[in-house]
């Protein structure tokens, strides 16, 4: 498999990226329109030719938007989760691969701003503010059940060695730093955070999914990688911060899906305006005057609106959870964590159905030409279906039902994908 060369790294934090100084949130978000316009260029062709979007990530780093969630008090713009999710949907409309591939980075920054402020945290904060992106991979193939870890971290003198192979390294190819889970010599689960250009780390472009083909979501080979003591931390998903971040990761996926629906709507509209012809038996002279074409496009537009609305409601629930961390009320925080997890789960269950229908119905806007590989409209359905396969929606619905019937919160408290 080819080894993807990462961008050059800096071991020391730099000054905040242009546009972030002073925490000017409005100025930062104002960059989004131009950024998404650039990302959207050639998106259909990139998917057809399997050209990874390195240029899109270069532009994203330069924009400073990677520090969106860093509070003003810590030198960032102070964006809300609602701001973040709206940004992910906008980027997803341009290229849902780029939106999805940012998930690990924003999971990292969310955890960073809610954890104790140690010297290491301040170092990572400086890196985020300087435009560095964070990825990682924790899942492995070939284990009996998802979540099992065989990667080993072994003591070697005054440092350690990391060996193993990871999977679902989404976005790591475009990042500067990455975290990996492993078992240490005592059998404890730990996490290591390393620069992606560390010798022995090979990011493999071997993702073979039918959709999200440009997220570099395949494997990472870890071959006798040197790990320094300060790069090791404990890893837990069921902490309060871990549970919050887990729900945010779920919503980030859904926002990427919503972006694909927006993309299908935009490209479907362009197809009708520029190319589609009315059917031979249609009473309309042109496709844009055909009432059935208008009806289908209206339904796709309504579906996109519904998905966006559901996802933004979930983002507001997560904003309430994030605010609860600083309120000092443990009961209120627990209630907020359960509420945001339930809200996001319900959103995913319904939004998934609407999104798949919208991405299917885009082909009702025309005849055989709508299936042209040049247009590549099918990538929206493929991308949505692939995103949805990251989470067991049937089990998610069962968990929600069990809560409403029996008040069961077991899976809502785990901090895992359920």
Cβ–Cβ under 8 Å, residues 61 and 116: no
Query: Do residues 159 and 259 both lie within one domain?
Result: no
Looking at the 3D structure of the chain, how many domains does it have?
A: 3
Domain boundary among 234, 259, 294: 234
Residue 8: pLDDT over 70: no
**pLDDT score of 189:** 93
6 is written with which tokens? 């990462």
Q: What is the DSSP string of 86-127?
A: HHHHHHHHH-HHHHHHTHHHHHHHHHHHHS---HHHHHHHHH
Query: Do residues 402 and 270 both lie within one domain?
Result: yes
Element (H, E) at 156: strand 152-156
State pLDDT tens for residues 293-345.
899 999 999 999 999 999 999 999 999 999 999 898 999 999 999 999 999 99
Query: Do residues 97 and 156 both lie within one domain?
Result: no
Domain that holds residue 391: 240-413
Q: Is residue 5 part of a domain?
A: no
Bigger pLDDT: 288 or 176? 176
Q: Is residue 142 part of a domain?
A: no
Q: Is residue 182 part of a domain?
A: yes
Query: Do residues 229 and 278 both lie within one domain?
Result: no
Q: Is residue 10 part of a domain?
A: no
Element (H, E) at 43: helix 43-49
Q: Is residue 60 part of a domain?
A: yes
Say which residues have a Cβ less than 8 Å from residue 158's Cβ, sequence separation at least 6: 229
282 is written with which tokens? 């249609």
Q: Is residue 335 part of a domain?
A: yes
Query: Do residues 250 and 360 both lie within one domain?
Result: yes
Question: Any idea what the CATH number is for the domain that residue 245 is in?
Answer: 1.20.140.10
Query: Do residues 70 and 206 both lie within one domain?
Result: no
Question: Any idea what the CATH number is for the domain that residue 105 is in?
Answer: 1.10.540.10
Query: Do residues 198 and 290 both lie within one domain?
Result: no
> What is the chain's mean pLDDT, rounded?
91
Query: Do residues 201 and 287 both lie within one domain?
Result: no
Percent of the chain with pLDDT over 70: 93
pTM listed for this prediction = 0.92
Query: Do residues 383 and 282 both lie within one domain?
Result: yes
Residue 262: pLDDT over 50: yes
- Rounded distance, CA 184 to CA 191, Å? 10
Domain boundary among 216, 234, 252: 234
Query: Do residues 223 and 272 both lie within one domain?
Result: no
Cβ–Cβ under 8 Å, residues 96 and 387: yes
Q: Is residue 6 part of a domain?
A: no
């Amino acid at each position: 498999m080819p080894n993807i060369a990462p961008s050059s790294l800096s071991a020391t934090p730099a000054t905040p990226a242009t546009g972030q100084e002073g925490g000017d949130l409005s100025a930062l978000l104002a960059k989004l329109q131009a950024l998404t316009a650039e990302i959207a260029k050639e998106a259909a062709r990139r998917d057809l030719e399997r050209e990874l979007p390195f240029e899109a990530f270069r532009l994203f780093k330069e924009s400073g938007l990677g520090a969106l969630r860093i509070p003003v008090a810590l030198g960032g713009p102070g964006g809300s989760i609602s701001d973040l999710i709206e940004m992910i949907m906008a980027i997803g409309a341009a290229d849902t691969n780029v939106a999805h591939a940012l998930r690990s980075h924003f999971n990292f920054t969310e955890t960073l701003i809610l954890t104790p402020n140690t010297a290491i945290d301040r170092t990572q904060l400086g890196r985020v503010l300087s435009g560095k992106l964070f990825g990682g991979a924790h899942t492995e193939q070939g284990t009996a059940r998802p979540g099992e870890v065989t990667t080993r971290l072994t003591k070697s003198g005054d440092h350690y060695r990391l060996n193993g192979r990871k999977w679902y390294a989404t976005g790591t190819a475009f990042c500067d730093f990455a975290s990996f889970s492993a078992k240490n010599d005592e059998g404890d689960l730990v996490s290591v955070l390393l620069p992606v250009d560390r010798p022995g780390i090979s990011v493999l472009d071997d993702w073979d999914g039918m959709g999200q083909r440009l997220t570099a979501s395949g494997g990472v080979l870890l071959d006798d990688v040197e790990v320094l003591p300060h790069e090791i931390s404990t890893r837990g998903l069921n902490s309060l911060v871990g549970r919050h971040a887990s729900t945010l990761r779920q919503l980030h996926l859904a926002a990427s899906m919503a972006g694909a629906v927006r993309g299908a709507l935009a490209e479907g509209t362009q197809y009708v305006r520029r190319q589609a012809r009315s059917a031979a038996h249609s009473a309309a002279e042109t496709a844009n005057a055909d009432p059935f074409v208008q009806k289908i496009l209206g339904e796709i537009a309504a579906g996109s609106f519904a998905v966006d609305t559901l996802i933004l409601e979930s983002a507001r629930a997560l904003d309430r959870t994030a605010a609860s961390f600083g309120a000092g009320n443990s009961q209120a925080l627990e209630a907020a964590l359960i509420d945001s997890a339930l809200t996001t789960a319900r959103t995913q269950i319904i939004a998934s159905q609407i999104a798949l229908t919208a991405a299917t119905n885009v082909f009702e806007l025309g005849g055989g030409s709508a299936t042209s590989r040049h247009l590549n409209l099918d990538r929206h359905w493929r991308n949505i279906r692939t995103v949805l396969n990251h989470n067991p929606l049937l089990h998610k619905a069962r968990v929600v039902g069990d809560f409403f019937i029996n008040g069961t919160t077991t899976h809502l408290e785990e901090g895992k994908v359920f």
